[in-house]
């Protein structure tokens, strides 16, 4: 089976550097000598909906070769709590996962949330 994610890719940098990054990403994603058409779609349109389990690893490897390109990858997975953004620039990397903070108003907490709050305090 598998897990689909809606990806969005944005690249910032000098046009020739961005193009070199894109070419290297296509090269690293090849399978049996063939360019991955889904990665090509992501590069060409900036978006795709797919199972790209190795995408972040590929970007990590390619970003090291292109330290002047800022890479922004957004992901929205099938699960409602799987929303994230990752960024690379050369060897630098950071990922932020979306988290809805707990409600602070005691009157708006569910019984389960109240119980959990008591257990953690």
Q: What is the mean pLDDT of residues 33-56?
A: 95
Residue 121 confidence (pLDDT): 65
Which range (12-16, 28-32, 43-47) has the least confidence? 28-32
Q: What is the pLDDT of residue 51?
A: 94
For the segment 2-26, the average pLDDT, to the nearest whole number, is 96
Q: Which of 37-41, 43-47, 109-113 has the lowest mean pLDDT?
A: 109-113
Alpha-carbon distance of 91 to 88, in angstroms, equals 7
Domain range enclosing 60: 5-120
Q: Is the pTM here over 0.85, yes or no?
A: no
HSE value, Cβ hemisphere, 13 Å, CA-based, for 90: 2
Structural domain total, the chain: 1
């Amino acid at each position: 089976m598998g897990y689909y994610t809606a990806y969005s890719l944005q690249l910032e940098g000098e046009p020739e550097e961005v193009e070199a990054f894109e070419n290297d990403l296509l090269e690293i994603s090849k399978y049996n000598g063939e360019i991955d058409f889904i990665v090509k779609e992501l590069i060409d349109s900036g978006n795709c909906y797919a199972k790209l389990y190795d995408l972040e690893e590929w970007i990590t490897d390619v970003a090291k070769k292109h330290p002047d390109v800022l890479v922004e990858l957004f992901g929205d997975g099938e699960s409602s709590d799987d929303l994230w953004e990752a960024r690379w620039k050369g060897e630098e990397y950071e990922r932020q996962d979306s988290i809805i903070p707990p409600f602070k108003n005691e009157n708006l907490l569910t019984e389960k949330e109240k119980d959990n709050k008591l257990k953690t305090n």
